[in-house]
Amino acid sequence: MQVVILGAGVVGITTAYYLARDGHHVTLVDRNQGVALEASYANGGQLSYSYVAPLADPAVWPKLLPWLLSPTSPVRFRPQLDPRQWRWCLQFLAACRSTHSAQTTLHLLRLGHASRRLMHGLLADEPALDCAYANSGKLVVYRDAAALNSARRQVEFQQGLLADSDCRQAVLDSAACLRIEPALAGLHRQIVGGVHTPSEDTADCYRFSVGLLDRIRSAAPENRCLFGTSIRRLRVSRGEIVGVESSAGLLEADAYVLASGCDSAHLARPLGLRLPIYPLKGYSLTAPLSDPDVAPTMSVTDFQRKIVYARLGAQLRVAGIADIGGYDRAIAPRRLATLLAEARAAFPGAARYEQSEGWAGLRPATPSGRPILGHSPYRKLWLNVGHGALGFTLSLASGRALADLIGGKPPFVQLDGFTFRTAARSAQSR
């Protein structure tokens, strides 16, 4: 089959990789001059297969006022004259219920663990894939006892769901956190404990995507990459997508995959498809290590600050923050300054922070935290959108499942809870 994939971030790339491996011919279309140059470029680097608690959680309610009032808050709301923003925010707040959060966690765990199996299989098949991969393990640290107790309940809940899994989590006190990650010495007086997940990984999402692109190109000469190409609209006839109008002309294929991140909602709207996706702007900085002996060896998440730290080869990636403020991709210096101050306080001698490179990207988030995957209401159009901050983590299972469905096979992982119909029903109920 000929398949056009709209978007060449990590989600589009993994979909193209599996389609090409299955013998289909793919055309990747992206407005940028290469792969993974937007939300995938300098993300947090954490592959959090087992730590997938959604942002939409009842614990959000008591934090709302501090988030709204503090200029250094990890989540910042900037009102826009855009009904889509307000609709998304109301749907997000409606999703902050314990039953909804638990159900979302169950679905994300299923998709996350499927991605973990696929990642390890892919690296076994592609040992030369250079993406700074490490089975680093993950430690989420907490600064107050109430949050740690809540995390303990979440761990117990997840372990009940994963009784036969080899992915184990442990709740540790402050001293135990310091023993397994000595680089936390500068924070040991501020943290009360943490959750350790040894099975989690880290990798460089951009390098991973570039490596898969090389394999897609070498799989068949018919595979094409139309970079620097803007997508204007999807052409429809009698309930079927019959082409994509682009700056490179009309693109026709046997199937089309929408994987355009935050732009997916714009492309779907003329079709009458309301995708509940809105951008959460995230930030990161990447600095060369100055002293590997005092840099963290495992990935670390500061739960209260909503900041993640990942060691990617000879670099330290520091990422976090969620700005709900429209489609502006500009870097706000004050937000980078917040990341820089937190990194210097947490790991003061770990990196040459004066040489850090800043980045900002728009993460395509749904109110519930679940991506939208599988069939669309239009024939030949498939959806692989709305992964939020878990795009890298969930990309392999999402891409493999889409490739299976397009090829007429049962998906590698069941997609109940992620379909367009589920998302539409959820939006209508709020």
What pLDDT does 53 receive? Answer: 77
User: How many domains does the chain fold into?
Assistant: 2
Residue 171 belongs to domain spanning: 53-82+133-201+278-365
Q: Tell me the pTM.
A: 0.96
What pLDDT does 429 receive? Answer: 57
114 assigned to some structural domain: no
CATH of the domain at 162: 3.30.9.10
Stretches where the chain sits below pLDDT 70 are 161-166, 426-430
What pLDDT does 162 receive? Answer: 63
Nearest to 185 by CA among 300, 51, 315: 300
**Hey, is 361 helix, strand or coil?**
strand
Are residues 343 and 218 part of one domain? no
Are residues 263 and 149 part of one domain? no
* Distance separating alpha carbons of residues 299 and 308, to the nearest angstrom: 7
Are residues 321 and 290 part of one domain? yes
Instruction: Measure Cα distances from 310 to 202, 203, 289, 305 in Å.
Output: 7, 8, 11, 15
Are residues 268 and 415 part of one domain? yes
Q: pLDDT tens digits for 137-146?
A: 999 999 999 9
10 assigned to some structural domain: yes
**Hey, is 19 helix, strand or coil?**
helix
Alpha helices for 37-183 (secondary structure H): 64-69, 83-95, 98-125, 145-161, 174-180
Are residues 168 and 21 part of one domain? no
Q: pLDDT tens digits for 97-120?
A: 999 998 999 999 999 999 999 999
DSSP 416: T
* Distance separating alpha carbons of residues 344 and 334, to the nearest angstrom: 15
Are residues 256 and 347 part of one domain? no
121 assigned to some structural domain: no
Nearest to 370 by CA among 319, 429, 416, 316: 416
Are residues 196 and 182 part of one domain? yes
What pLDDT does 387 receive? Answer: 97
What pLDDT does 164 receive? Answer: 53
Are residues 8 and 18 part of one domain? yes
Are residues 380 and 268 part of one domain? yes
